[in-house]
Amino acid sequence: MDAVIKMDAVIKMTNLKMRYSEKADYVLKGIDLEIMPGQIIGYIGPNGAGKSTTVKIMLGMIQSYEGDVEIFGENIKQNAVLYKQRIGYVPEVAVIYDSLSGYEYLIFIGELYKLDLDLVVYKAKKMFELFGIKEALYNRISSYSKGMKQKLLIISSLIHDPDILFFDEPISGLDANSVMVFKEMIKLLSEQGKTIFYSSHIMEVVEKISDRIIVLNGGVIVADGNFEMLKEKSKEGSLQDIFNQLTGFNEHEVIAKSLVDTINLDAVHERDALEPMTQQEV
């Protein structure tokens, strides 16, 4: 950490807090984070830890947060629009205007980014071809498979050559070959100095690609560092094990056993015998 202090952080969060309504609990309970250019950040945490909320705040989709967020050195509350020119985003759920064709969608995106449209057309064609879905470019998005939609989202997040990328489960639905292409691609992009913010539940991938891993649990950061550092600290073998330890989860065997027992039940009265065991899952 001390080696990078001199560089300017591309993303900086100070005491970031967020709750969805006055009455609700905080989803984020004070996040402090600095991210340097060229890093691939694995952003992980159990469901409901606040990962998507953090990303949505950085994208300006949520404005009602407390604390400060600076991107490219500018506070995104004051300069809410321009920084988006240099970021790309692949959302977890594929929200898309799917009565458009892939081509039209990319043109639309290109216009919002104020790009040269000839360039957009060239990039769109080329990237569709490279991703192996060339023939789908002029079809309605509603006819795309899950993997094709995901590829379109990836392309649309990159078409303006952004400096920060937010990927939320970007490879879901992609075939194994495309996953390899994608992983290699983001490695090359990060070598160019682009920052990649990668949140996922697939630990094997996060472990392999990330320079730095941030573990979020219950709205706070519980671990931050590269894989070796995390491993040293927690004396566990894989990121999966570290993750389990950090999030205080070590009962997967017990719960799995209970699940199978429940699946195998033939009649309700047998349940009484299982009751004490299933209580642990909370």
Partner 1 sequence: MKKDFLLIKLLMKFKGVFKNASVNFDDLVTILSLKLTLDNRKASAMGAGKKQKLTGMKANLLMQGFFGFFIGMIMFVPFDLFYKISIITAMDLFFMVLFMISDFSSVLLDTRDKDIILTKPVGLETMNASRLIHVIYYMISLFLALNVISIVILTIQFGPMIVLGFAIMLVLLSLFIVFVTTILYSILLERFSGEKLKDIINVFQIALSVITMISYQLVGRIFEFVNFELVIHIKWWTYLLPPAWYASMFKVLVEGDFTRAYLIMAALSIVVPVAAGSALIKWILPRYESYLSKLQIEDGVFVPKNSLKEKFKTFIYNLIASDHKERAFIKFADANLSRDRKLKLMILPNQALGYVFPLIMILPFLGRSGGIEGALAGMNGSLMYLNAYWALVMFISNFEFLQYSEKFEASFIYDSFPIEDKRVIFSGAIKAYYIKYMLPGMLLINVFFLILCGWTSLVGLLIIDVMSFFMLLLRYKMTALELPFSKEISSAGNKNPAPVFGLMGLCALIAGAQFLFVKNNILIGLLVLVVMIIMTQLAYVTFFKRPVKCDSN
Residues of the shown chain interacting with partner 1 in the complex, contacts defined by CB under 8 A: 20-21, 24, 59-64, 80-85, 87, 89, 91, 95-97, 99-100, 104, 107-109, 111-114
Decide whether 101 or 244 has the Cβ nearer to partner 1: 101
Which is closer to partner 1, CB of 26 or CB of 113?
113
- Smallest distance from partner 1 to CB 189, Å: 19
Query: In the complex, what is the shortest distance from the CB of residue 115 to partner 1, in angstroms, rounded to a whole number?
Result: 11
Decide whether 61 or 180 has the Cβ nearer to partner 1: 61
Task: Indicate the residue among 23 and 235 with the shorter CB distance to partner 1.
Answer: 23
Least spacing, CB of residue 47 vs partner 1, in Å = 14
Structure tokens of 205? 């991938």
| 146 versus 257: smaller Cβ distance to partner 1 | 146
* Shortest Cβ 238–partner 1 spacing (Å): 33
In the bound state with partner 1, the residue whose beta carbon lies nearer, of 118 and 228, is: 118
Q: For the CB of residue 28, give the shortest distance to partner 1 in the complex, in Å.
A: 15
Q: Closest approach of Cβ 97 to partner 1, in Å?
A: 6
